[in-house]
Amino acid sequence: MTIEQIDTTANILKLLGDKTRLSMMGMLMIHDCCVCEFVDVFQMSQPAISQHLRKLKDAGLVKEQRKGQWVIYSLEQKNQYFPMIQDILKHVPNQNDKFIWLEENGLRISCD
């Protein structure tokens, strides 16, 4: 492993060391998400959520797709570190309860 690979791996682990970003990644393993869904789930401002997502996107861990005025995020499975991400997320509690909460509160479909 080169110094550059070690640096990249350390950076990814640092990003995932934040519980909000780790939870976001766990959610994205289940479903693609809109920024507004993360805002509702984490009870954070849209700029704060966007900052987390920008860091994940800059690291190549997530990608975005525009749907009208909405931005939908998904995992970047082509990233060479995706297998490592999958392994890490196996040790994170399942995030499906967040989607259940969104659906129960009528917030899951807020971006359609």
DSSP, collapsed to helix, strand or coil, labels residue 25 as helix
Give the alpha-carbon dihedral of 5, 95, 101, 42, to 10 degrees: -30
Q: What average pLDDT is seen over the chain? A: 93
CB of 12 within 8 A of CB of 76?
no
Distance, CA of 85 to CA of 77 (rounded, Å): 10
Query: Could you tell me the pTM of the whole model?
Result: 0.92
pLDDT, tens only, 14-25: 999 999 999 999
Per-residue pLDDT for 69 more than 90? no
pLDDT of residue 76: 97
CB of 62 within 8 A of CB of 75?
yes
